[in-house]
Amino acid sequence: MVKKRLCCCGWFILFSHLLLAALVCSKNHGNPANDLVEIINNNRTAHKLSKLNDSPGLGCIALQYAELCKGNCSINNTVNCKPSEDDFTEVFAPDCGVELPTFGTITGHIVGCQSKYLEPSLAFAHVLVRDSKALSILRNKSHTEVGVGMVRVHKGPFFWSVLFSSGKTNSTFVLENRGAGIQQKKGCYSGSSIPCSAGQQNATLGLNNVMIMGFLCVVYLLKQFHFNL
C-alpha cells in the first residue's frame, strides 16, 4: 500500500519535471535578437517615432561587432571596444556575405554586456538603454532600419549589439545567396529565421534539464530499490 503510493508520487514528480523541462525549452527556443527589435520598435512608436525595418544583413553585422568586442566587457557592464570603419567593410560584411556595394550608412550603435543571460526586455532596460546617451541614439530620427546581434563568450558574459542605419530596407545590407548570407557558427541576429546557434542559452538550459532529469531518475530508482529490498 505504502509502496504503491510512493511509486505513484515518484511518477508524478518525474512527469511534472518533464513538463517543466519542456516548457523551459520551448520558451527559450526563439530568437532574442528578434524580440529586442520588437522592443526597440515599441519604444520608438510609443514616442511617435517611425518603426524601423528589421534588416538581416545589418543584424549579422551587429553580431560580428559583438563577436569582435567579446573580450571587452568591463566590471560595470560597458563594452570598451571600438572597431574601425574598415572592420565593417573588410571583415564584418564579408563574414556575413553582405554584398559590398549595398553597404549603407550606419547612423548609430549601442552595445552592452552582462555576465548572466537577461530576457530581451531586461537587457533593453538594464544593459543597452540605461542612460540618456543611449536613449537619444535610440530615438534618433535619421534611422530607418535596425539590426541586433547577440553572442555569448564561452561560459562568459552575453554581448548585445544594436546597429541603426538610414538605408532603404531591401536595397542596403543585401545578403548574397538570395538573402541567406553566410551561415553563422555562433550567436544569433535579428531578421534571421535561424534560432540561436550553439554555445547559447538554449544549450545551457538543455544541459541543465538533462542533469535535473538524470538526478530525478536516480532519486526515483533509489527509492524504488529501497522499498523493494
Ligand X SMILES: *[C@@H]1O[C@H](CO)[C@@H](O)[C@H](O)[C@H]1NC(C)=O
Residue 135 makes contact with ligand X by CB under 6 A: yes
Among 1, 2, 26, 46, binds ligand X (CB under 6 A): 46
Least CB distance to ligand X at residue 220 (A): 46
170/225 Cα distance (integer angstroms): 64
Q: Which three cell numbers stand for residue 144?
A: 530607418
Residue 132 makes contact with ligand X by CB under 6 A: no
Measured from the CB atom, the residue of 21 and 191 that comes closer to ligand X is 191
Q: Report the DSSP pairing between strands 145-152 and 158-165.
A: antiparallel
Measured from the CB atom, the residue of 107 and 224 that comes closer to ligand X is 107
Residue 201 makes contact with ligand X by CB under 6 A: no
Q: Which residues contact 19 (CB under 8 A, 6 or more apart)?
A: none
Phi-psi region of 41 (alpha: psi -120 to 50; beta: other; left: phi over 0): alpha
Least CB distance to ligand X at residue 6 (A): 50
Cα separation values, 199 from 6, 172, 215, Å: 39, 30, 23
Footprint of ligand X on this chain (CB under 6 A)? 43, 46, 68-69, 71-72, 74, 76, 78, 80-83, 107-108, 125, 129, 135-136, 140, 142, 169-170
